[in-house]
Amino acid sequence: MKTALITGISGQDGSYLAEFLLNLGYRVCGMDLDFDPVKHSYLAAIQEKIEFIKGDLRDSDSVDRVLEASRPDEIYSLASQSNVALSLKKPYLTADVTAMGTLRLLESARRITPSARFFQASSSEIFGNPEESPQTEDTPRSPRNPYGWAKAYAQEMVKVYREEQDLFACSAICYNHESPRRPETFVTRKITRAAARIKLGLENRLVLGDTTAEKDWGFAGDYVEAFWLMLQQTEPDDYILATGRAHTVEDFCRTAFEALGLDFQEFIEIDQAFFRDWETRPLIGNPGKARNQLGWKSKTGFVDLVHLMARADLEALQQPNQA
C-alpha cells in the first residue's frame, strides 16, 4: 500500500484527489492547519479513511513533523493562498504560504523522505499577460500579482530540487478548474450560487465585472487524475493542465442560468469596480504535452461542468437551513 500526503486536503482539489487515491488503495494522510468537518462536509463520506495530521506550512519544524509522521511515498503540495484579489491585500501571507510553504515542504522532503515523489500545483497566473495564446510550458513567465509571483517562485524551486537535489519533483501549471466545491470567493461559484438563489426567489440580481473576459475552465475532478499520472512517469517533468478552449464569463452566466430555466440577462448588473485592469489577454492553455506524454485530457465539457455546479447549488440551497 502506497502512502500519499496531501497538503490542503480540505480544499477543492485536495478532496477530489483524496477520493481518487483512496479508490486506488492508497493510505491517505492529510496535512491541515485546522480541519473543520462541518465546513468541509464534502469529505464526510471519506473522513474516517483519512489520517489527518495538523501542520503549518509557515513553520519548518511543523512540516518536518508531518513528514516524519506520515512517511509518504508521494507528496501532493496543494495548499496555498489562492485568491488573486486577496493576494493584493495580503502579499506577505501569500508569499509565506504559497511560495515559502512549498520550499519548506521540498526541503523537508529532501531531508526526511528523499525517495518520495513530489507534486506541486502551479497556476496559469505565472504567465500574467502573455504575448501568445494558447500558452505552452515554454511560454515566458510574467506574473502580474503576488499570487502569480508566489506560484512562479514555487515552480522554480521544484525545478531546482529536481535538477540539483535529485528529487522526483513535478509541477502542474493548472488553468481554471471548477466544481461544486469551489469556494464562493471565485466568480464561477458566485455565478452558480446567485443563479440558484434567484431561482428560489432569495435574490434578484447578480453584480459582476467584465463579462467579456475569457477563461479556460475545466472540471477539478478530471485534473486530479493528471496530478497522480505525473508521479507515475519514469522521469519527472512539468505539464500544463487545461482544456485548450476559451469561454467568456458571459458564456458561464448564460449556461448557469439556462441550467435552472432562467434568462441571465434579466438579472445581471455590471460594476466597473470588479474589473481587473491587468487582464487584457486570455489565459488559455495548450494541454498537448499532457495529452501526448500522460495520456490525459479534460473529460468534462464546459456545459456539463456549469450545469453540474448550478444544479448542485440549487440542491444545496433547498436543504433545510441552507438558504
**153-208 pLDDT, tens per residue?**
999 999 999 999 999 999 999 999 999 999 888 999 999 999 999 999 999 999 99
The full DSSP string for 4-57 is EEEETTTSHHHHHHHHHHHHTT-EEEEEESS--TTTTGGGTTTGGGEEEEE--T
- Are 212 and 224 in a shared domain? no
All cell numbers assigned to 146: 503576488
Residue 294 located in a structural domain: no
- Are 41 and 189 in a shared domain? no
Identify any residues that bridge with 118 across adjacent strands, giving them in sequence order: 75, 169
Per-residue burial over 256-270, b = 16 or more CB atoms within 10 Å of its CB, e = otherwise: bbbbbebebeebbee
- Are 48 and 158 in a shared domain? yes
Reported confidence tier of residue 282, pLDDT bands at 50, 70, 90: confident
- Are 109 and 229 in a shared domain? yes
Count the neighbouring beta carbons within 10 Å of the beta carbon of residue 244: 17
- Are 112 and 225 in a shared domain? yes
Residues classed as catalytic: 123, 125, 147
In this predicted structure, the answer to whether residue 279 has a pLDDT above a threshold of 80 is no
Residue 206 located in a structural domain: yes
- Are 164 and 271 in a shared domain? no
Residue 96 located in a structural domain: yes
The full DSSP string for 86-155 is HHHH-HHHHIIIIIHHHHHHHHHHHHH-TTSEEEEEEEGGGG-S-SSSSB-TTSPP---SHHHHHHHHHH
The single-letter code of the amino acid at 305 is: L
SS3 272: helix
CA-based radius of gyration for the chain: 19
The closest of 296, 131, 120 to 218, measured between CA atoms, is 296
* pLDDT score recorded for residue 252: 97
Is-contact 153 99, C-beta < 8 A? Answer: yes
- Are 128 and 208 in a shared domain? no
Residue 306 located in a structural domain: yes
- Are 150 and 275 in a shared domain? no
Q: Quick one: residue 261, left, alpha or beta (phi over 0 = left, psi -120 to 50 = alpha)?
A: left
State the CATH number of the domain containing residue 270: 3.90.25.10
**57-110 pLDDT, tens per residue?**
999 999 999 999 999 999 999 999 988 888 999 999 999 999 999 999 999 999
* pLDDT score recorded for residue 319: 84
- Are 194 and 56 in a shared domain? no
In this predicted structure, the answer to whether residue 278 has a pLDDT above a threshold of 60 is no
- Are 40 and 143 in a shared domain? yes
* pLDDT score recorded for residue 241: 98
Number of domains in the chain: 2
Reported confidence tier of residue 217, pLDDT bands at 50, 70, 90: very high
**In the block, residue with C-alpha cell 509518504:** 72
In this predicted structure, the answer to whether residue 270 has a pLDDT above a threshold of 80 is yes
**Full domain range(s) for residue 211:** 181-216+246-283+301-317
**228-265 pLDDT, tens per residue?**
999 999 999 999 999 999 999 999 999 999 999 999 99
What predicted TM-score, i.e. pTM, was given to this entire model? 0.94
Identify any residues that bridge with 123 across adjacent strands, giving them in sequence order: 174
Reported confidence tier of residue 39, pLDDT bands at 50, 70, 90: low
Is-contact 153 107, C-beta < 8 A? Answer: no
Is-contact 267 206, C-beta < 8 A? Answer: yes
Reported confidence tier of residue 42, pLDDT bands at 50, 70, 90: confident
Residue 291 located in a structural domain: no
- Are 145 and 227 in a shared domain? yes
